[in-house]
């Protein structure tokens, strides 16, 4: 969950590294550090606790960073082992300060390795698991007089755990060694220069050509090029991929932060997730990522959808879509729970995993468990070339550009849109009528305009958020299609406002949660005029009878709630199955404005990182 960026080339490394780690800071912002080397083997380093700007200030004050330093690495940390201190910040080095490295991941057997190294005379400066790697490489070089890449290979053979590593040795100038195991690492191919990073974002300003390392692989980067090997020294040839988005898409533009920018990008995100996939003439969806698997998909008797956080909430919505339109059962589960159980698979099962980054550790672990059982695996992801994209049998890309804000927004509507398109695809295979499909698709195609209509009234939602900015607790309640939306609304408020919030199926209210209700405990009902509206209305009355404040989201033109609910937010009328796409927008805006009004940093919420690449 940390950000790593490395550079090797002809330009001055420091400004490239600084800008690169700024573009990766959403992956970790507890602390940051840099080490850069000259062709003559001189190393300059700096560390700072806090955001990257603190590191940048240190670098600017040190004139040594102004030299011709053509190679180096930089790291932004999300703490796992050891507190948030300068000593625990990366990069870490060995006893002699020759080996320098940055690491993303967790070394599970670091304790026994560290004890053995201490017995051999090694001195440790940090509390981290990462520092063990530097000393292991030092020991391997000292014992066997190995070149860096061979010492790294030997070291990795002794390590248990996950890692994305960038390493250099000041005694071997002009060389970086990188390695990956269950922690993302991507190589960027520029003209006479090479880049390496935890994801493509900091590479995009320099080149669109990417090479993704796979688990158990390492690469040696030199000014003349690069070579990829596995840990048994077998060389691997791999073609590069091209980024499908521009660097400008990863910038804030005229917005104050990425979170608001990405909330307002949702009309475009919906368009891109549906472009070329809605065939209104033939009343069907066309999913190129599933082409060639039609016969296998027709044999599905049960679909298992797994994800984490927001992706799991999208999966909950997908369950309802598929069961309603395709008529076969769907199981949804949280990836971290699925992975540690002993799931029972049946003939006709298919396994669908959802991850915006395609690198979520829990989700990939669940995927690999399903693959061992020879189950058909499908995926939804936003990142071309990601591990999820490579390891599933087939899947659908989101095509929404980079999502930088830690709290997922546009990825939720995109994933939900793809799940609805998949449900229609499965349904058409199984007898879904043209009339039923057309009714959904006709309005589905116009959702971007309807979402924009809600966004244009964002100031109204800000006014509601202002009223409740001092509330300490919230319930989010919804039924049927809008139950997953209630969960997602609560998650957004928790993530960026630090307000205690719970999402609930409205029908569960009387089974315990209503005990919490009093005049200081607001409830946010998602209750458009749909098939369960009357049930929701009764629940609103139950809350009001107990003096609980009520916010209600309902359909334009509905006057029933005036005088009953304390505040009402309206969304345009659509077919019932499409309300989640509209209902989630005000909830995102409510969470956003609540956070801003409370003075929180919405792009970098405390204790969180964007891509959860460690368990």
Residue 507 near residue 486 (C-beta atoms within 8 A): no
Residue 150 near residue 131 (C-beta atoms within 8 A): no
Which of these is catalytic: 175, 261, 494, 610? 610
Helix (H, G, I), strand (E, B) or coil at 331: strand
- Token couple for 192: 């006479």
- Please give the span between the terminal C-alpha atoms of the chain, in angstroms, as a whole number: 10
Cα–Cα distance measured from residue 132 to residue 121, given in angstroms and rounded to the nearest whole number:
13
User: Please, what is the Cα angle at 250 between 177 and 214, to 5 degrees?
Assistant: 30
- 483 an active-site residue? no
- Token couple for 90: 């990366």
Exposed/middle/buried for residue 431 (C-beta within 10 Å: 0-12, 13-18, 19+): exposed
- 2 an active-site residue? yes
- Token couple for 246: 């521009």
196: left (phi over 0), alpha (psi -120 to 50) or beta: beta
The percent helix, strand, coil of the chain (3-state, each to 5) is 40, 25, 40
- Token couple for 394: 């087939």
Cα radius of gyration rounded to whole Å, the chain: 26
Cα–Cα distance measured from residue 527 to residue 506, given in angstroms and rounded to the nearest whole number:
10
Cα–Cα distance measured from residue 176 to residue 206, given in angstroms and rounded to the nearest whole number:
18
Query: How many residues can be counted in the chain?
Result: 615
- Token couple for 308: 């984490």
Secondary structure (H, E, C), 333-401: EEHHHHHCCCCCCCCCEEEEEEECCCCCHHHHHHHHHHHHCCCEEEEEECCCCCHHHHHCCEEEECCCC
Active site members = 2, 610
């Amino acid at each position: 969950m940390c950000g790593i960026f490395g550079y090797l080339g002809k330009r001055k490394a420091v400004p490239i590294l600084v800008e690169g780690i700024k573009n990766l800071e959403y992956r970790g912002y507890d602390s940051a550090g840099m080490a850069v080397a000259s062709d003559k083997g001189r190393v300059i380093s700096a560390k700072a606790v806090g955001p990257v700007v603190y590191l940048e200030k240190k670098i600017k004050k040190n004139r040594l960073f102004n030299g011709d330093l053509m190679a180096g690495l930089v790291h932004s940390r999300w703490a796992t082992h050891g507190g948030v201190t300068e000593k625990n910040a990366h990069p870490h080095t060995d006893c002699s300060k020759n080996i320098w490295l940055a690491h993303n991941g967790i070394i599970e057997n670091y304790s026994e390795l560290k004890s053995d190294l201490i017995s051999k005379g090694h001195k440790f400066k940090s509390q981290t698991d990462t520092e063990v790697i530097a000393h292991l490489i030092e020991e391997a070089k000292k014992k066997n007089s190995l070149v860096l890449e061979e010492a790294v290979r030997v070291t990795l053979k002794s390590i248990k755990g996950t890692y994305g590593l960038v390493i250099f040795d000041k005694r071997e100038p002009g060389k970086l060694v990188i390695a990956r195991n269950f922690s993302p690492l991507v190589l960027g191919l520029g003209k006479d220069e090479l880049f390496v990073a935890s994801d493509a974002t900091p590479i995009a300003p320099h080149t669109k050509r990417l090479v993704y390392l796979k688990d158990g692989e390492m690469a040696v980067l030199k000014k003349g090029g690069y070579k990829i090997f596995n840990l048994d020294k077998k060389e691997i040839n791999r073609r590069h991929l091209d980024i499908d988005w521009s660097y400008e898409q990863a910038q804030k533009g005229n917005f104050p932060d990425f979170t608001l920018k990405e909330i307002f990008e949702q009309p475009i995100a919906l368009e891109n997730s549906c472009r070329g996939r809605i065939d209104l003439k033939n009343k069907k969806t066309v999913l190129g990522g599933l082409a060639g698997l039609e016969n296998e998909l027709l044999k599905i008797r049960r679909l298992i959808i797994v994800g984490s956080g927001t992706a799991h909430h999208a999966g909950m919505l997908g369950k309802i879509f598929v069961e309603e339109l395709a008529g076969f059962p769907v199981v949804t589960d949280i990836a971290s729970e699925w992975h540690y159980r002993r799931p029972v698979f049946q003939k006709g099962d298919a396994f669908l995993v959802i991850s915006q980054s395609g690198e979520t550790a829990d989700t990939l672990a669940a995927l690999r468990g399903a693959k061992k059982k020879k189950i058909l695996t499908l995926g939804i992801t936003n990142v071309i070339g990601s591990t999820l994209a490579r390891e599933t049998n087939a899947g659908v890309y989101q095509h929404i550009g980079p999502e930088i804000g830690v709290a997922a927004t546009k990825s939720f509507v995109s994933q939900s849109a793809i799940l609805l398109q998949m449900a229609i695809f499965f349904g058409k295979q199984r007898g879904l009528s043209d009339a039923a499909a057309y009714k959904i698709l006709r309005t589905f195609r116009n959702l971007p305009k309807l979402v924009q209509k809600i966004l244009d009234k964002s100031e109204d939602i800000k006014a509601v958020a202002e009223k409740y900015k001092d509330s300490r607790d919230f319930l989010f309640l919804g039924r049927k299609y809008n139950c997953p939306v209630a969960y997602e609304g609560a998650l957004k408020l928790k993530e960026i406002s630090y307000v205690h919030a719970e999402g609930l199926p409205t029908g569960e209210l009387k089974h315990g949660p209503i005990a919490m209700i009093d005049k200081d405990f607001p409830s946010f009902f998602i209750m458009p005029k749909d098939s369960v509206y009357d049930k929701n209305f009764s629940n609103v009355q139950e809350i009001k009878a107990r003096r609980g404040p009520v916010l209600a989201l309902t359909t334009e033109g509905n006057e029933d709630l005036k005088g009953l609910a304390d505040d009402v937010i309206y969304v345009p009328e659509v077919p019932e199955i499409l309300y989640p796409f509209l209902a989630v927008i005000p909830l995102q805006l409510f969470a956003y404005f609540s956070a801003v009004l409370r003075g929180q940093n919405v792009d970098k919420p405390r204790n969180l990182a964007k891509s959860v690449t460690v368990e």
